[in-house]
A and B are shown apart, each in its own frame.
Chain A
Amino acid sequence: MYTQALNTAEADDRGLEDAAKAVQFQARIDGEERIEPNDWMPAAYRKTLTRQISQHAHSEIVGMLPEGNWITRAPTLRRKAALLAKVQDECGHGLYLYAAAETLGTSREELVDAMLAGKAKYSSIFNYPTLTWADIGTIGWLVDGAAIMNQIPLCRCSYGPYARAMIRVCKEESFHQRQGYEIMLTLCRGSDEQKAMAQDALNRWWWPVLMMFGPPDATSQHSDTSTKWKIKRFSNDELRQKFVDATVPQAQYLGLTIPDPGMIQDADGHWRYSEIDWTEFKQVLAGNGPCNRDRLAARRKAHDEGGWVREAAAAYAAKRAQRRTAQAAE
């Protein structure tokens, strides 16, 4: 997830490239073939995917922060072990995705440096704070739920390394949503205060979660290229609607109210939500969300404090290599 269609596809520059190759490339895509790293691809395809996959990777890594905030304060050992395992998974997801992005020709270090420099985006959702334990339940239930909705079609993405990374991620992701829902269920079956805490978390996360699917179809002009290239298989609004339809009954089961008084079920059974506040979305993306500065500062601190480890490991590897060369010469 977290690709959020922040990535406006690159302008089609096929005119500059071998037209025959471009036609052949599109034919392969249309034939549901997978594109692999060494295959010819249009420069715009490479650029769009590098951006999308690296944003996705950054999101997994930054996404560890709001949940990591609660590891030491999880209410039981069972919850703590689950949360630790989930956050560890997210770290792995980041690594799978960086590895997939790298096959397009940009090194992981370069991608990470761009994120640390504030030049790369990550999902807006991780710029919201986790104020109570119920936020951890809500994140698993809704944020991971939305992520799964987005990631399942990406398992069939035309770019092989991305599709394969997504298959791995989706497999691991299924426990994330379940553990979140279990937390919510426990809170909703608990005291009045616990249930109120669950409702409060839902109230705060609902709208930001709907924004995770990206701007409405009417305003995202470039998604047709991504669709043509089979990077994207469903539009933002289609995925958002699927998510809402799946989530409303889950909220009803918990006895929680979706904070959208205007929501109605239409004749086809779809839950129609009210207008989303896209100004908030744009503000958060522009760096003005509640936690943007905190998140970047935390990532920079972790990166800088890991510097000596990278240096020491590289120095040790170099020393060993040198010793081997010397021994071979003897």
Chain B
Amino acid sequence: MPQSARSVGLHKQQSRENAMATPNTPLWEVFIRSRNGLAHKHVGSLHASDATMALQAARDIYTRRGEGLSIWVVPSTAITASDPADKGMMFEPAESKIYRHPTFYEVPDEVGHM
């Protein structure tokens, strides 16, 4: 079954014994493009009330030393992740398909690099 990328307990309403409990602020996942031509890469997460604030916080937290040219922030709840229990079903079928790799095919040495 697909899961949230985060541990299941996180987005459930947490029971608090403390009446003064601090309300939860939404969680965002941060992706940064470090250099021109590279893909955005997940760097971590942060809390913010809305997308604008998430973007500003991401800039302050994750790009203090010129780490990025571009930032994406995505609500953590928007991410659907594969279930680790389905790993076999998901990924094993590719393991037997060795003919998808170039080394499966024989080309005589005389032909040279191909």
Q: Is the Cβ of B84 less than 8 Å from the Cβ of A38?
A: yes
Q: Is the Cβ of A113 less than 8 Å from the Cβ of B18?
A: yes
Specify which chain B residues have a CB less than 8 angstroms from the CB of A92 in the assembled complex.
Answer: 61, 64
Q: Is the Cβ of B64 less than 8 Å from the Cβ of A95?
A: no
Q: Is the Cβ of B22 less than 8 Å from the Cβ of A104?
A: no
Report Cα–Cα, A96/B81, bound state, in Å.
21
- Count of interface residues, chain B, beta-carbon cutoff 8 Å: 34
| Contacts A/B (CB < 8 Å), 11 sampled | A37-B7, A38-B8, A102-B7, A102-B45, A105-B10, A110-B21, A113-B18, A113-B21, A164-B44, A314-B25, A317-B49
Other 13 A-B pairs with CB < 8 A, given A105-B9, A317-B26: A36-B84, A37-B5, A38-B8, A85-B64, A96-B44, A103-B10, A109-B22, A109-B24, A113-B18, A310-B49, A313-B25, A313-B53, A316-B50
Q: Contact string, A151-165, partner B, CB cutoff 8 A, digits 1/0?
A: 000000000000011
Q: Known contacts being A314-B49, A316-B50, is A110 close to B16, with CB within 8 Å?
A: yes
Whether A10 is near chain B, meaning CB under 8 Å from some CB there, is: no
Shortest CB–CB separation between residue A52 and chain B, in angstroms?
16
- Count of interface residues, chain A, beta-carbon cutoff 8 Å: 35
Report Cα–Cα, A318/B50, bound state, in Å.
9
Report Cα–Cα, A99/B53, bound state, in Å.
17
Report Cα–Cα, A109/B81, bound state, in Å.
24
Specify which chain A residues have a CB less than 8 angstroms from the CB of B65 in the assembled complex.
Answer: 172
Q: Known contacts being A107-B14, A109-B24, A313-B49, is A99 close to B44, with CB within 8 Å?
A: yes
Specify which chain B residues have a CB less than 8 angstroms from the CB of A320 in the assembled complex.
Answer: 50
For window 310-330 of A, CB contacts with B under 8 Å fall at: 310, 313-314, 316-317, 320
Whether A40 is near chain B, meaning CB under 8 Å from some CB there, is: yes
User: DSSP majority for the B interface?
Assistant: loop
Specify which chain B residues have a CB less than 8 angstroms from the CB of A37 in the assembled complex.
Answer: 5-7
Whether B77 is near chain A, meaning CB under 8 Å from some CB there, is: no
Q: Is the Cβ of A103 less than 8 Å from the Cβ of B7?
A: yes
A-B CB contacts (within 8 Å), total count: 86
Report Cα–Cα, A107/B53, bound state, in Å.
19
Specify which chain A residues have a CB less than 8 angstroms from the CB of B70 in the assembled complex.
Answer: none
Report Cα–Cα, A38/B7, bound state, in Å.
6
Report Cα–Cα, A107/B23, bound state, in Å.
10
Whether A293 is near chain B, meaning CB under 8 Å from some CB there, is: no
Whether B55 is near chain A, meaning CB under 8 Å from some CB there, is: no
Whether A39 is near chain B, meaning CB under 8 Å from some CB there, is: yes
Report Cα–Cα, A308/B3, bound state, in Å.
34
| Residues of B participating in the A interface, judged by any CB pair closer than 8 Å | 3, 5-10, 14, 16, 18, 20-27, 43-50, 53, 61, 64-65, 81, 83-85
Which 10 A-B pairs rank lowest in CB-CB distance, beginning with the nearest? A105-B9, A313-B49, A317-B50, A109-B22, A317-B49, A105-B7, A99-B45, A37-B7, A39-B84, A314-B49
Report Cα–Cα, A110/B22, bound state, in Å.
7
Question: Nearest A residue to B21 by beta-carbon distance?
Answer: A113
Instruction: Identify which of B43, B49, B50, B84 gathers the most chain A CB atoms within 10 Å of its CB.
Output: B49
Specify which chain B residues have a CB less than 8 angstroms from the CB of A106 in the assembled complex.
Answer: 9-10, 14
Whether A218 is near chain B, meaning CB under 8 Å from some CB there, is: no
Specify which chain A residues have a CB less than 8 angstroms from the CB of B64 in the assembled complex.
Answer: 85, 88-89, 92
Q: Known contacts being A103-B6, A320-B50, is A109 close to B21, with CB within 8 Å?
A: yes
Shortest CB–CB separation between residue A64 and chain B, in angstroms?
14
Question: Nearest A residue to B4 by beta-carbon distance?
Answer: A38
Q: Known contacts being A99-B44, A317-B49, is A40 close to B10, with CB within 8 Å?
A: no
Question: Nearest B residue to A95 by beta-carbon distance?
Answer: B61
Question: Nearest B residue to A35 by beta-carbon distance?
Answer: B84
Q: Known contacts being A107-B14, A165-B44, is A113 close to B7, with CB within 8 Å?
A: no
Q: Is the Cβ of A113 less than 8 Å from the Cβ of B10?
A: no
Report Cα–Cα, A266/B84, bound state, in Å.
51
Question: Nearest B residue to A321 by beta-carbon distance?
Answer: B50
Specify which chain A residues have a CB less than 8 angstroms from the CB of B46 in the assembled complex.
Answer: 95, 99
